[in-house]
């Protein structure tokens, strides 16, 4: 039997995204980026995000249907991210998905954004989800999860303060780089020396799977007065900061794989766009004999295809949500 066709909406933060997914086939994936709108403020302004979701959502649904070559009658179920995220943003995608579900008499599925990220490597690599250690690194979250099977997740550790992406963005701001800082620092680091500044690897040897990035951020701040005008220190500072983040993320992930006896690592979230993180994960997993799955660039940062994919997996198991179910800005994964 053919997998169901799901139309999914993702509006948890600043990107408005709509996708049509059938099993692990992405029939359409549309994203309206709001980066330019929030850039002057150095971060996401919730009120602006929700207003722009409202403007973007209808044309995006139409564009997704058109590029999938379907009309609403061709959709078997509608899904939306119901948390975690910004309340006023979540409400837009949720309300639209529920309205479409009610008007077409199709089911609605509420999906956890972090589960979308977690399973995105499997969608990307068209692999069946398998027991894995998952590293999820985004702008709002940094966690290591023991994934036993789809829907059965044990949180092994998370950040105690800043998320990795948040640290990239805050350090980018400190260094005068445009928002979001992550991609800028990645780009700058390519011509920098990662050993130029000796930044701390916080909690590297803590013996657990918790993270902390706020001390690293402060270390960057303290080293700023040392840099001399006219000397091109920026690439070195970026590369050294990035190396400190990547070292901790990679080593803790490998340690978690050993701890749980998993032979598969699934890395996801916006920060897995980072070229150094991808490179180091690839190298370390190969050395340890671990299979590594990562999302393609298009599926790394926020998108609706990952939400549609999870919805499809859940729908196949008979799961649906009530259209009266509320959003949950603090929705937990495990
Ligand atoms: O998963 P995502 O799109 O949104 C959240 O759910 O948070 O992640 C966005 C985060 C931002 O903090 C951004 O700076 C970071 O991912 N990011 C990167 C790179 N590309 C995006 N961080 C480091 N290097 C990159 N190349
Ligand atoms: Zn995300």
101 contacts 65 by C-beta, under 8 angstroms: no
Cα distance between residue 203 and residue 141, in whole Å: 17
Q: Nearest to residue 84, comparing CAs of 300, 333, 322?
A: 333
Compute the distance from residue 302 Cα to the ligand 1 centre, in Å.
9
Q: What is the pLDDT of residues 149-184, one digit of tens each?
A: 999 999 999 999 999 999 999 999 999 999 899 999
Cα distance between residue 224 and residue 218, in whole Å: 10
How many percent of the chain have pLDDT more than 90? 93
Q: Which ligand approaches the C-alpha of residue 141 most closely?
A: 1
Q: Is 268 in the pocket of ligand 1 (CB under 6 A)?
A: no
Give me the CATH number covering residue 18.
3.30.420.40
Structure tokens belonging to residue 271? 């920060």
304 contacts 28 by C-beta, under 8 angstroms: no
Nearest residue (CA) to ligand 1, atom 23:
182
Residues in Cβ contact with 261 at an 8 Å cutoff, skipping those fewer than 6 apart: none
Compute the distance from residue 316 Cα to the ligand 1 centre, in Å.
31
In a domain, 194, yes or no: yes
Environment of ion ligand 2 (residues, CB < 5 A):
138, 302
Q: Is 83 in the pocket of ligand 1 (CB under 6 A)?
A: no
In a domain, 330, yes or no: no
The torsion angle over the Cα atoms of residues 73, 54, 86 and 15, rounded to 10 degrees, is 80
- Pick from 119, 168, 238 the residue to mutate for probing ligand 1's pocket: most ligand atoms within 8 Å of its CB: 168
Q: How far is CA 236 from CA 32, 109, 139, 170, in A?
A: 33, 46, 23, 17
Residues 147 and 285 in one domain: yes
Q: What is the pLDDT of residues 109-153, one digit of tens each?
A: 999 999 999 999 999 999 999 999 999 999 999 999 999 999 999
Residues 66 and 183 in one domain: no
Structure tokens belonging to residue 301? 């940062």
Residues 221 and 104 in one domain: no
Q: Is 219 in the pocket of ligand 1 (CB under 6 A)?
A: no
14 contacts 138 by C-beta, under 8 angstroms: no
In a domain, 305, yes or no: yes
In a domain, 322, yes or no: no
pLDDT at residue 55 in the model? 96
In a domain, 142, yes or no: yes
Calculate the average pLDDT of the chain.
Answer: 96
pLDDT at residue 334 in the model? 82
In a domain, 328, yes or no: no
Cα distance between residue 315 and residue 77, in whole Å: 8
- Pick from 120, 270, 297, 305 the residue to mutate for probing ligand 1's pocket: most ligand atoms within 8 Å of its CB: 270
Q: Is 116 in the pocket of ligand 1 (CB under 6 A)?
A: no
What is the pTM assigned to this prediction?
0.95
Q: What is the pLDDT of residues 297-332, one digit of tens each?
A: 999 999 999 999 999 999 999 999 999 999 999 999
Compute the distance from residue 137 Cα to the ligand 1 centre, in Å.
8
Q: Nearest to residue 234, comparing CAs of 178, 185, 170, 277?
A: 185
DSSP 3-state helix, strand, coil percentages of the chain (rounded to 5)?
Answer: 45, 20, 35
Compute the distance from residue 211 Cα to the ligand 2 centre, in Å.
18
- Pick from 44, 90, 139 the residue to mutate for probing ligand 1's pocket: most ligand atoms within 8 Å of its CB: 139
Q: Is 182 in the pocket of ligand 1 (CB under 6 A)?
A: yes
Longest CA pairwise span in the chain (Å): 66
Residues 134 and 223 in one domain: yes
* Burial grade of 145 (CB within 10 A; 0-12, 13-18, 19 or more): buried
Structure tokens belonging to residue 209? 């799977």
Q: What is the pLDDT of residues 11-56, one digit of tens each?
A: 999 899 999 999 999 999 999 988 899 988 888 899 999 999 999 9
Q: Is 274 in the pocket of ligand 1 (CB under 6 A)?
A: yes
Task: Determine the structural domain holding residue 156 and report its residue range.
Answer: 130-297
């Amino acid at each position: 039997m053919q997998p169901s066709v799901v139309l999914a909406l993702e509006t948890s933060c600043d990107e408005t995204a709509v996708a049509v997914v059938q099993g692990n086939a992405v029939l359409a994936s549309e994203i309206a980026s709001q980066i330019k709108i929030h850039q002057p403020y150095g971060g996401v302004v919730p009120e602006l995000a929700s207003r722009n979701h409202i403007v973007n959502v209808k044309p995006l649904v139409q564009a997704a249907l058109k590029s999938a070559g379907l009309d609403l009658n061709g959709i078997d179920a509608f899904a939306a991210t119901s948390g975690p995220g910004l309340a006023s943003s979540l409400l837009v995608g949720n309300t639209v998905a529920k309205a479409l579900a009610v008007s077409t008499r199709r089911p609605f599925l509420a999906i956890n954004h972090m589960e979308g990220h977690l399973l995105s490597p499997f969608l990307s690599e068209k692999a069946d989800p398998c027991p894995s250690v998952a590293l999820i690194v985004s702008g709002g979250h940094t966690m290591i999860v023991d994934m036993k099977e789809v829907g059965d997740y044990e949180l092994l550790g998370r950040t105690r303060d800043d998320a990795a992406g948040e640290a990239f963005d805050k350090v980018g701001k400190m260094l005068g780089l445009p928002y979001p800082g992550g991609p800028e620092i990645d780009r700058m680091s390519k011509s920098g020396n990662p050993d130029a500044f000796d930044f701390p690897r916080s909690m590297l040897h803590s013996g657990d799977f918790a993270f902390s990035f706020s001390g690293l951020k402060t270390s960057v701040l303290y080293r700023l007065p040392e840099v001399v005008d006219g000397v091109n220190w920026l690439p070195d500072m970026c590369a050294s900061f990035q190396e400190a983040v990547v070292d901790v993320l990679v080593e803790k992930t490998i340690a978690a794989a050993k701890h749980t006896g998993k032979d598969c690592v699934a890395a996801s979230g916006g920060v897995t766009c980072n070229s150094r993180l991808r490179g180091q994960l690839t190298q370390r997993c190969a050395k340890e004999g671990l299979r590594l799955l990562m999302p393609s660039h298009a599926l790394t940062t926020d998108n609706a295809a990952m939400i549609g994919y999870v919805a499809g997996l859940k729908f196949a198991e008979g799961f649906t949500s009530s259209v009266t179910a509320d959003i949950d800005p603090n929705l937990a994964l495990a």
